[in-house]
Amino acid sequence: MSAPLVLLPSDEVPREHLPSNKSNPLRLGPGLRLLSQPTSQAGDSNHVLTATQAGLLTTDAKRNTVSLLSFPNRRYVPTVNDLIIAQIHHSSIDFFHCIVTPNTAHALLGQLSFEGATKKTRPQLKQGELVYARVQSVGVGAGAEVELTCVNPATGKADGGLGPLVGGMVFDVSTGMAARLIRASSASPDNTDAVEGLVILGELGRKLESLGGFELAVGRNGKVWVDCSNAGESAIAVTVAIGRCLQETDQHNLHPHDQKKLVTRILRDLKLAS
Amino acid sequence: MASTAASAPAVPSLNLPPSQFARLQPHAYLLAHLSPPSASTQPSVRANGRAASQFRVTSANAGSLTHTNGSAVVRIGDTAAVCGVRAELLHTADIASWSVSNASDEEADSATQKGASQNADDDRNQVQDLHLLVPNLSLSTGCAPGLTPGAPPSTLAQSLSHEILSLLHTTNLVKADDLRIWYQPPNLESEEFRNAAEGMEVDSEQNGGPEPEIKAFWVLYIDIMIISWAGNAFDAAWSSVLAALRDTKLPKAWWDADNETILCSDDIADARKLSLRGLPISSSFCSFEADAAAGWRAVVIPSPEELKSQGQKEGSQQRWILADPDGYEEGLCEERALIVVDNEDGKTVILKMDKLGGWGMDSDDLRQLVDVSAERWQEMKQILDQC
Amino acid sequence: MVGPTASLSVLSRADGSASYKCPATGYNILGAVNGPVELPGRRDALKPEDATVEIFIKPGTTTGGVGERATETILKSVLGNLVLGREKGFPRRGVVLTLNIVGGENVERGDSYLTLLPALLHAGLLAMISASIPLSMTLSAALLGVTTSGDIVQNPGPAAAKSVVSLHVLAFSSKGHLLLNESRGRFDFDTWELVRARALSICQGAHDGDVAMGEGENAASVNAFIRETAEDQIYSDYAHKLDSI
């Protein structure tokens, strides 16, 4: 890979940075758009890739994608197939109206979009309860509504833990951190350590194994749900410790060895580690 | 889009009166007027029948409001603005910072005799620091369909008020000396003191005698009301302010030492007019893009050089700069320009030049617009001189 | 002359934020952007297929008045023009930019906001970049004054701005388009062309050679400064990624 390249709005993506995989069509990530060159001769469609945001250009030769990694603090914009953690705001006859990000229109989650849900067995979610859901559609055109689902439409099953999140606590992290956590966990389950410079989850897992471990769900919209109901009496302390570790790593953008130190310090502060 | 626009009015089967076509496809309607098909002999005119650099018929009438010190009604096409100037007294005793800043101001006043440029600077400071000019613009209910009654002053009205005040300050239109009310204390001292005073070395605080002092200021409340708004509110508002200030007469006022108050003469013969500095005339323009989607179409934005060469190369014009846009045109144009010029001994001086809202206009266009504004100055001068 | 300083993502709650400090004029601006958000009272009557950009200016020590409204209008037409409001997730939503004047002299009533305008534009742009609002271009602005002797001075502060004959603020896009011109005072067109050439070289770097020659302090263009600010932040945010390369 060549030297890191940071693009600003209106910068063109240099052709030599594009992956040279010809078998798949090139896929564009967020922050990039395809523009046609008006000055070119008619018939010869000359297209240029330009950035619309500031960010680090990354390419994936295997999947033939090119995308722009923008600032991690940005607001989440719903994209189809993203996993998110939504909070129920209110329910109507057919839908639950959910909050995905503050100050945006509610996303709709069908009352029957749960695994095995029928009119009689559908979950009775109240205001403030959480669901782990997938973005089903973002609609077309201006002001279209975002639709969520808690089942895989192909199988009708709740793959990957979709559905209501019971118990636990939610912590806010930046959208960039959420994306990192998701990438780190999906990359290679046996070697989560070095991926994306995040060792914190592996470290926490090792340290907290004796206390019963923990369950984690990461939403692309910058929310992390942590549950440690197995930890018994210290469940709350463990939950808070994990949340604090994640948030501090996020805010201070900690280096891997600082992350290890942080875990040790916080566990000591909360009297969880001997 | 352009081709359908050009042919649409001619297609009989559509059977749409032009007025409806104008409402349904405003951009195409105006474009069809500006770029008639090359086969036809029609000239390129705007939908309102004007040429691109033609202003609307302007009329001005001064002194129509009797209860004000000065007033004017200016009508530019269907946009009409009424301006009334009311003068009120501001006692220096009521100015909190007056006694503190007094000494330095007196100095400045004595310096006013030295040079005209110095004079202008001092004037600006005093007029500005003491808020002697208070313009307020309101868009009256019913002047345009979009305005709702009872709403707080819109952002547009507020920014127009600010622009007028800012322009009054930068042009130094009103002389601070016209607004000062002086008092010459009677000379109670003896003859030899007067001799000493001529030596100019005497500390004035010692006697407080013959130095004239400012007892009060006139504050001009300039209220502008747009009674009909069909685009280009600023030109109409500014012209009305200018005409009203030219019409303004301040009564003769003096400090009555016995009553310790300001008295005004009710004799019209005693009242004097303001002497304004220059005649700044504003002209507004907007730029109409042939491509309605130019702002967001997914094409590479051409660089300024490419824009220039494009304009020269292609026969079809891509952009028209329209002078004095009406409401219909303002709604279709993003890019605007405002130029205020004055004419001093036959030489055009630019006092304010703004352009914003797009990336089409550059120095070549602005140079032309300054020339157009200079012509407009001549026209407006005649109109204002006659009113 | 000391160059400006800026940092991105200074606030953790806002979607994007930037602080911009210009030592020459003494202004310090803090900008915060939230977007895309739902605006109260849907603006269906306005362009429904586009995003609405709202800008608020908060002066340091007083409440906002008509001067702020006028400046907001100017900023809205310049920055709003660069926002690609039709990108996914943006139509019919709002982008709210709040600019807080943290440091520097207050602008008096009826005084033009020109001395503040470049700082506001830069802070606003950087905050938008930090919030990853899709933009078609970036911009850079310059404040210039013409003195009685005909010299062009860069970044006159509020006090110095009172003594100049004319005061100019020009903003150029990253490709060199003239996006904004605000000129006050007394000048003729030839003077303005000189000012424009000088402003362009300040914004884009002195590639013309003839204008900014012999001015050592003028090394970095405003464009380069904005690029560096964004790059620095990206590099520190993605240090974990860049380390592994």
The 3-state secondary structure of chain C, one letter per residue: CCCCEEEECCCCCCCEEEEEEECCCCEEEEEEEEEEECCCCCCCCCCCCCCEEEEEEECCCCCCCHHHHHHHHHHHHHHHHHECCCCCCCCCCEEEEEEEEEECCCCCCCCCCCCCHHHHHHHHHHHHHHCCCCECCCEEEEEEEECCCCCEEECCCHHHHHHCCEEEEEEEECCCCEEEEEEEEEECHHHHHHHHHHHHHHHHCCCCCCCCCCCHHHCCCHHHHHHHHHHHHHHHHCHHHHHHC
Lookup result for tokens 């926490």:
A204
Range 171-210 of C in CB contact (< 8 A) with A: 173-175
- Asked if residues B254 and B263 have their Cβ atoms less than 8 Å apart, the reply is yes
- For the CA atoms of C148, C154, C157, C158, what is the dihedral angle to 10 degrees? 50
pLDDT of residue A65: 86
Spell out a b/e string for B322-349, using b for 16 or more CB atoms within 10 Å of the CB, else e: bbbbbbbbbebbbbbbbbbbbbeeeebb
CB contact under 8 A, B170 and C112: yes
Residue C48 belongs to what domain range?
A: 5-244
Q: How many domains does chain C have?
A: 1
Confidence of residue A188 (pLDDT cuts 50, 70, 90): low
DSSP for A60-119 reads ETTTTEEEEE--TTSPP---TT-EEEEEEEEE-SSEEEEESSTTSPPEEEETT-STT--T
d(CA B165, CA B159): 10
The 10s digit of each residue's pLDDT in A247-268 is 999 988 888 889 999 999 998 8
Q: How would you class C149 by CB atoms within 10 Å of its CB: exposed for 0-12, middle for 13-18, buried for 19 or more?
A: exposed
Residue of C nearest to B340 (CA): C184
More confident residue, B235 or A16: B235
For A26, A110, A224, the CA distances from A107, given in Å and listed in that order, are 30, 10, 19
The neighbours of chain B, by the rule of 3 or more Cβ pairs under 8 Å, are: A, C
Q: SS3 sequence, B47-66?
A: CCCCCCCCCCCEEEEECCCC
Give the minimum alpha-carbon distance from A92 to chain C in angstroms, rounded to a whole number.
21
CATH code assigned at C121: 3.30.230.70
B349 vs C contacts (CB less than 8 Å): 186-188
For B20, B22, B185, B278, the CA distances from B11, given in Å and listed in that order, are 14, 15, 83, 53
For B91, B106, C219, the CA distances from B96, given in Å and listed in that order, are 10, 17, 47
The neighbours of chain A, by the rule of 3 or more Cβ pairs under 8 Å, are: B, C
The 10s digit of each residue's pLDDT in A207-243 is 888 888 888 999 999 999 999 888 788 888 899 999 9
* Residue to test with chain C: of B124, B159, B299, B303, most C Cβ within 10 A: B159
pLDDT of residue A192: 47
For C94, C137, C158, the CA distances from C140, given in Å and listed in that order, are 24, 10, 20
Phi, psi of A28 (to 5 degrees): -100, 135
* Residue to test with chain B: of C50, C54, C56, C66, most B Cβ within 10 A: C66
The neighbours of chain C, by the rule of 3 or more Cβ pairs under 8 Å, are: A, B
pLDDT of residue B316: 66
The pTM (predicted TM-score) of the whole model is 0.89
pLDDT of residue B118: 56
The CATH number assigned to the domain with range B58-277 reads 3.30.230.70
d(CA A111, CA A134): 14
- Residue B330, both tokens: 């303002």
pLDDT of residue C42: 56
pLDDT of residue B88: 94
Confidence of residue A1 (pLDDT cuts 50, 70, 90): very low
* Residue to test with chain B: of C57, C136, C186, most B Cβ within 10 A: C186
Give me the percent of chain A exceeding a pLDDT of 70. 90
List the one residue out of C96, C103, C70, C100 whose CA is nearest residue C182: C70
Helix boundaries (H) for B256-323: 304-313
- Asked if residues C166 and A46 have their Cβ atoms less than 8 Å apart, the reply is no
Computed on alpha carbons and rounded to an integer, the radius of gyration of chain B in Å comes to: 27
DSSP state of A191: G
d(CA B193, CA C25): 49
d(CA B174, CA B128): 11
CB contact under 8 A, B304 and C177: yes
Helix boundaries (H) for chain B: 2-7, 18-24, 26-34, 98-111, 116-129, 155-171, 176-179, 191-198, 204-207, 233-247, 304-313, 327-330, 363-386
Q: What percent of chain B is helix, strand and coil (3-state, nearest 5)?
A: 40, 25, 35
The 10s digit of each residue's pLDDT in C157-166 is 888 888 899 9
pLDDT of residue B302: 80
d(CA B104, CA B91): 18
Spell out a b/e string for A118-146, using b for 16 or more CB atoms within 10 Å of the CB, else e: eeeeeeebeeebbbbbbbbebeeebeeeb
What residue spans in chain B does CATH classification 3.30.230.70 cover?
Answer: 58-277
Give the minimum alpha-carbon distance from C158 to chain A in angstroms, rounded to a whole number.
32
Residue from the list B121, B156, B353 with its beta carbon closest to the beta carbon of C181: B353
d(CA B145, CA A2): 59
Phi, psi of B349 (to 5 degrees): -115, 130
Domains of chain A by start residue, with CATH: 6-69 (2.40.50), 83-165 (2.40.50.140), 169-269 (3.30.1370.10)
d(CA B229, CA B237): 10
Phi, psi of A226 (to 5 degrees): -125, 130
C179 vs B contacts (CB less than 8 Å): 356, 358-359
Q: Touching check for C108 and chain B: CB below 8 Å?
A: yes
d(CA A116, CA B296): 45
In this structure, are strands B213-228 and B133-139 parallel, antiparallel, or unpaired?
parallel
- Of the listed ranges A175-189, B87-101, B138-152, C39-53, the least confidently predicted one is C39-53
How many of the other CB atoms lie within 10 Å of CB of B136? 17
- For the CA atoms of A206, A210, A212, A214, what is the dihedral angle to 10 degrees? -20
User: In which residue ranges of chain B is pLDDT below 70?
Assistant: 1-14, 99-124, 188-210, 294-296, 311-316
CB contact under 8 A, C70 and B304: no
Instruction: List CB contacts of B26: < 8 A, sequence separation 6 or more.
Output: B328, B331, B332
CB contact under 8 A, B359 and C177: yes
Range 123-152 of C in CB contact (< 8 A) with A: 129-138
The 10s digit of each residue's pLDDT in C100-123 is 999 887 777 667 788 999 999 999
Lookup result for tokens 């649409």:
B8
A47 vs B contacts (CB less than 8 Å): none
Amino acid making up residue B284: S
Q: What is the mean pLDDT of chain A?
A: 85
Task: Answer yes or no: is pLDDT of C130 > 60.
Answer: yes
Give the minimum alpha-carbon distance from A42 to chain C in angstroms, rounded to a whole number.
24
The 10s digit of each residue's pLDDT in B198-256 is 544 444 445 555 678 889 999 999 999 999 999 999 999 999 999 999 999 999 999 99
List the one residue out of B174, B169, B204, B177 whose CA is nearest residue B189: B204
List the one residue out of A9, A81, A174, B152 whose CA is nearest residue C126: A9
Q: Touching check for C190 and chain B: CB below 8 Å?
A: no
Q: What is the mean pLDDT of residues C130-152?
A: 94
List the one residue out of A6, A2, A3, A14 whose CA is nearest residue A57: A6
pLDDT of residue C217: 43
How many of the other CB atoms lie within 10 Å of CB of A166? 9
Lookup result for tokens 């197939």:
A81
pLDDT of residue B109: 47
Helix boundaries (H) for chain A: 175-187, 200-208, 235-252, 256-269
Lookup result for tokens 């109109």:
B383
Residue of C nearest to B172 (CA): C185
- Asked if residues B333 and B359 have their Cβ atoms less than 8 Å apart, the reply is no
Confidence of residue C49 (pLDDT cuts 50, 70, 90): confident
* Residue to test with chain B: of C53, C184, C193, C195, most B Cβ within 10 A: C184
